[in-house]
């Protein structure tokens, strides 16, 4: 198992073996997904990141407290 320590700023070093397996380099984007009480780390492709960043601004009409209350448990 690869391990790292969380700093006071909430940062951690991704172990070299993991960086190599995911082909991670400085400046790459990574995603964290909570799944069954665990975190899944994955490399975010440039196209995927830009697409989601652009898409997020188009969905603002559904970002209200009422929508969160109505659909938050889906």
Q: Which has more confidence, 60 or 5? A: 5
Residue 18 has a pLDDT of 94
**Residues 56 and 46: beta-carbon distance below 8 Å:** no
Residue 59, pLDDT above cutoff 70: no
Q: Which residue has the tokens 């073996």?
A: 17
Could you write out the DSSP letters of every residue in 16-38? HHHHHHHT--TT-EEEEEEETTE
pTM, whole model, 2 decimals? 0.57
How many whole angstroms separate alpha carbon 22 and alpha carbon 42?
A: 7
């Amino acid at each position: 198992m690869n391990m790292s320590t969380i700093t006071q700023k909430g940062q951690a070093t991704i172990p070299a073996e993991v960086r190599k397996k995911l082909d991670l380099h400085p400046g790459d984007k990574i995603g964290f997904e909570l799944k069954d009480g665990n975190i899944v780390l994955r490399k975010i492709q440039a196209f995927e990141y830009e697409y989601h960043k652009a898409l997020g601004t188009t969905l603002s009409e559904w970002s209200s407290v009422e929508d969160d209350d109505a659909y938050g448990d889906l």
